[in-house]
Amino acid sequence: MKYYIIAGEASGDLHASNLMQALLEKDPEADFRFWGGDLMAAVGGILVKHYKDLAFMGFWEVITNLKTIFKNITFCKEDIAAYNPDAIIFIDYPGFNMRIAKWAKANSYATHYYISPQIWAWKENRIHAIKRDVDHMYVILPFEKDFYEDKHNFKVHFVGHPLLDQIEKRTEISFKDFKTKHQLEDKPIIALLPGSRQQEISKMLAVMLSVVSDYPDYQFVIAGAPSQEEAFYESIISSLPAKVKLIQNDTYDLLSKSHAALVTSGTATLETALFNVPEVVCYKGNLISYWIAKQIVKLDFISLVNLIMDREVVKELIQNEFNTKQLEIELDKILQPDGREKMLEDYKALKTKLGGVGASQKTAELILKSVQSHLK
């Protein structure tokens, strides 16, 4: 079978690569052509465009890059037509993918959407386009199934969260070996996860690093994004009086050895929770983009942990609240035994809600079954 896959971000690259591996297990002759990243490329197939050339963060940034975005949409349609796949698989990234899905459905391609657009957060009217243009939707958050089926009468498959698979299959490393590997000190680690795009890293990391000198009994370690060069981080941390380490491409091992974490809102908030690391969630965006988002998004929380639990489990410091003073107040709380114990208990309930492992395998099986049925 021929599969055309579109992932536009680092998290999409991760989940798509696992899905590709699962498809290969069930369909050894699978042929892939895709938009994504290095993890997908490592599985095999043809990488058409890398996600680092596609990611525009925030409303203002999208507006100022519209010419490039529309050029990519036109090219993508032409590339799909030339490849003529048996199935097109969209991985999140709705602004781009929903436009391609509309064209694909009109041209009789089978459309599969893995990891739903967050229409429960904003742009709920996209449900009409999803019903029209998406043949099969595979959701990874438990409340999404109720949202689609009960509220909008659109059948979806809840397959569980793929992060559970990714975390379970990793090989554990001892703290001693991890410390030696990265030349770390013999102190508890506070991990800093400032995001994956340069513009958000620049905003987030400066504030995160402002607390370092006040915690001499801990070592602060930055989780470098795979899409960014070490030199970019060094330009930010080189002027610091306190020593801060950067670790590239080893975020899961870092989280597994961390005592606490400061995390930019996004998938990383859920990853941190699944590793049982108490965290403070941080977000500061472009002022115009944030103002527009506030008018549109009607959610009580921004982190996946709180959204899934439907209550505040982890503290969220947003925009002006994300400052050195507030960050230290919240970090102190999760470094204390009572605060840690409460958060870790909540994490147990979170894992129960997410269901079991096997999201990639379930999704691959459903996609292959659908493609085979369609070809009969």
pLDDT tens track for 118-156: 899 888 999 999 999 999 999 999 999 999 999 999 999
Examine residue 146 and state whether it is found in any structural domain, yes or no: yes
Q: What pLDDT is attached to residue 66?
A: 74
- Paired tokens of 217: 């009994």
Mean pLDDT of 196-221: 92
C-alpha pair distances (Å), 314 with each of 214, 308, 355: 22, 12, 20
One-letter identity of residue 321: E
Cα–Cα distances in Å, from 11 out to 32, 52, 260?
19, 12, 22
Instruction: Select from 49, 92, 89 the least CA-distant residue to 68.
Output: 49
pLDDT over 60 at 59, yes or no: no
Nearest to 286 by CA among 61, 52, 93: 61
Which residues lie closer than 8 Å to 284 by C-beta, 6 or more apart?
203, 204, 207, 318, 319, 322
The answer to whether residues 181 and 315 belong to one domain is yes
Compute how many other C-beta atoms are within 10 angstroms of the C-beta atom of residue 287: 11
294 or 162, greater pLDDT: 162
Q: In what order do the strands lie in the sheet with 315-318?
A: 245-248, 219-224, 189-193, 258-264, 279-283, 315-318
- On whether residue 184 sits in a domain, the answer given is yes
Into how many domains does the chain fold? 2
CA-to-CA distance for 34 and 25, rounded, in angstroms?
A: 18
Q: Are 211 and 241 in contact (CB under 8 A)?
A: no
Strand 87-91 and strand 111-114: the pairing is parallel
**183 three-class SS:** coil
Q: Is residue 314 part of a domain?
A: yes
Structural domain span for residue 21? 2-160+358-375
Q: For residue 79, is pLDDT > 90?
A: yes
36 is written with which tokens?
């994504």
The pLDDT-based confidence of 197 (bands split at 50, 70, 90) is: confident
The whole-angstrom separation of Cα 131 and Cα 134 is 6
60 pLDDT higher than 60: no
Rounded alpha-carbon distances, angstroms, from residue 188 to 261, 276, 304: 11, 15, 26
Of the listed ranges 111-115, 143-147, 241-245, 331-335, the least confidently predicted one is 241-245
The pLDDT value given to residue 198: 87
The average confidence (pLDDT) of the chain is 92
Q: pTM for this structure?
A: 0.80
In a shared domain, residues 71 and 182: no
Query: Residue 61 above 70 pLDDT?
Result: no
Are 196 and 311 members of one domain?
yes
Q: How far apart, in Å, are the Cα atoms of 79 and each of 47, 73, 323? A: 12, 10, 46
Residues 250 and 182 in one domain: yes
Q: What is the pLDDT of residue 299?
A: 73
Query: Does the pLDDT of residue 58 top 90, yes or no?
Result: no
Q: What is the pLDDT of residue 62?
A: 63
pLDDT at 132 (0 to 100): 98
Q: Are residues 272 and 209 in the same domain?
A: yes
pLDDT tens sequence across 210-219: 999 999 999 9
User: Does residue 33 share a domain with residue 115?
Assistant: yes
Question: What per-residue confidence (pLDDT) applies to 76?
Answer: 97
Position 251 scores a pLDDT of 95
What digits encode the pLDDT tens for the residues 92-110?
999 899 999 999 999 999 9
- Within-domain flag for 6: yes
The answer to whether position 166 is within a domain reads no
In a domain, 167, yes or no: no
Question: Do 128 and 192 fall into the same domain?
Answer: no
